[in-house]
């Protein structure tokens, strides 16, 4: 099973890369794995929204994952 996690804005900057591949079975596992792999993400991840194949799970949502899904990690941003 392979899932691509795309990191944006402050999450990308903290991890110093734009994507990450995982075999996690749930969104909760992805969050744990991201912090373990990229410790600097710990201060950012708690503020991020998670979007799985276009469906938003917000900051604290969870879901089961299947191979081939894509996850976008979206920190809060401002602008107009």
Mean pLDDT rounded to a whole number for the chain: 93
- Using CA atoms, how far apart are residues 80 and 66, in angstroms rounded to an integer? 35
Query: Does the residue 59 lie in any domain?
Result: yes
Query: Does the residue 32 lie in any domain?
Result: yes
Query: Does the residue 57 lie in any domain?
Result: yes
Q: What's the average model confidence in pLDDT over 34-58?
A: 95
- Reference 72, options 41, 42, 33, 27; nearest CA is 27
pLDDT at 55 over 50: yes
* CATH number for the domain harbouring residue 32: 3.10.20.30
pTM of the entire predicted model:
0.90
Residue 47: predicted pLDDT: 92
Q: Which domain holds residue 45?
A: 3-74
- Using CA atoms, how far apart are residues 61 and 38, in angstroms rounded to an integer? 21
């Amino acid at each position: 099973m392979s899932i691509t996690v795309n990191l944006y804005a402050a999450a990308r900057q903290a991890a110093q890369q734009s994507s990450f591949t995982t075999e996690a079975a749930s969104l909760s596992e992805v969050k744990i794995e991201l912090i373990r792999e990229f410790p600097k993400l710990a201060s950012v991840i708690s503020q991020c929204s998670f979007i799985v194949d276009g469906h938003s799970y917000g900051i604290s949502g969870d879901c089961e994952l299947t191979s081939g899904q894509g996850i976008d990690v979206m920190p809060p941003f401002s602008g107009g």
